[in-house]
Amino acid sequence: MGSWAYRKGLHDLGNGSWAYLQPDGGWGWSNSGFISSGGENVLVDTLFDLPLTAEMLRTLRASIPGAERIGTIVNTHNNGDHTFGNQLVEGARILTTRAVGEGMEHESPDRLLQVLANPDVLGDGGRFMAEIFGKFDFTGIKLPPATDLFEGSFDLTVGDKVVRLIDVGPAHTTSDLLVHVPEDRLVYTGDIMFHQGHIVIWAGPITNWIRACDLILSWDVETIVPGHGPIADRNDVRNFRDYLHYLHDETRTRYDAGMSFQEAAFDIRFGKFDHFGDAERTVINVHALYGEFAGERPAVQPGEIWNLMARYARERAALGRCSGCADPAHRH
């Protein structure tokens, strides 16, 4: 495979495929993809706000002949950091699964705008949300509906290429797409892969996530563009799958021992995965896994998860570990 520095901007993967990366890959700093063949162009995901998406589109148009003509957006899932810029790609069809399309109908920046306007109302959790999301501009976003929906899988023809879209969810969200370009030995994973970062289990189960990694490894691919973090290879997917197993098993041990999810989240140590960014997500993930084990997630008070994540991040920072970036060499 090629070797790509982890820097912001466009990366030429060869043969008409590109990645657009946003270090440090933490909360909201997502990646996108671009596929071009025979005069047809596909954009894989947009970014978290309009200014960031506009900057990306300007970069594409300045670097790739014909990139101003984007016929299709493929959204890998409905989270705003992969969809909120959709409105800027005028005239493009928006292709995704039926479940993602339905999720997009309820995706809105309004709650984020409210929190950023008055974070103290939510206490520590609100202030933490303002800290991680305050660098984004959520004004003016009007998320258009998906126009082309499918279930299961879909083969998209882009010029002379076949691009395979495979729904492997529910995992990160209720539906998560892999965008596989067999001819280029390439896959855009959306948030099925957080490279060098902790996952977020909004939906689950984690077993679907592990199966998705196995599916990627069953393909003849060498370049993996994650939803967050640097460009990866097959060994990185194996390491990420090991992390998923580790998270599951460590949580299960504490569940069986009778710990509360709060106790378990703060008790788990990640060993060789300790450099992964955004470790406070362990709170979300352990809460979700307890739900998988018990059949329903433990009851929580409004805002409790975000308050716990704020505490987790604060305590981790006090220990000199970086919970907010994906750079293993970075320590506060």
Residue 320's pLDDT is: 75
Tens digits of residue pLDDT in 81-124: 999 999 999 999 999 999 999 999 999 999 999 999 999 999 99
Mean pLDDT of the chain: 94
Residue ranges of E strands in the chain: 9-14, 17-21, 32-37, 40-44, 72-74, 93-97, 148-150, 153-158, 161-167, 177-181, 186-194, 223-228
- For the chain, the domain total comes to 1
Percent of residues, the chain, with pLDDT higher than 70:
95
**Does a structural domain hold residue 3?**
no
Domain range for 312 is 9-318
pLDDT score at 155: 98
Tokens of 41: 């162009």
Residue 98: which of 164, 177, 10, 185 has the closest Cα? 177
Query: Is residue 139 situated within a structural domain?
Result: yes
Q: Are the C-beta atoms of residues 293 and 252 closer than 8 Å to each other?
A: yes
pLDDT band of residue 321 (cuts 50, 70, 90) is low
* Within-domain flag for 332: no
Q: What is the CATH number of the domain that holds 102?
A: 3.60.15.10
Rounded Cα–Cα distance for residues 312 and 269 (Å): 13
Mean pLDDT of 319-331: 47
Entry pTM: 0.94
7, 59, 22: which is closest to 136 by C-alpha?
22
Q: Using an 8 Å Cβ cutoff, are 141 and 70 in contact?
A: no
CB 290 within 8 A of CB 259: no
Which residues, other chains included, contact 64 with Cβ-Cβ below 8 Å and sequence gap of 6+?
A: 10, 18, 34, 36
Cis ω for the linkage preceding 205 (within 30 of 0): yes
Contact 110, 222 (CB under 8 A): no
Q: Is residue 328 situated within a structural domain? A: no
Query: For residue 50, is it within any domain?
Result: yes
Task: Kindly state whether residue 31 falls inside one of the protein's structural domains.
Answer: yes
Q: What is the DSSP string of 50-98?
A: HHHHHHHHHHHHHHSTTTT---EEE-SSS-GGGTTTGGGSTT-EEEEEH
pLDDT tens digit sequence for 11-42: 999 999 999 999 999 999 999 999 999 999 99
Q: Hey, which residues does 150 pair with through a beta bridge?
A: 97
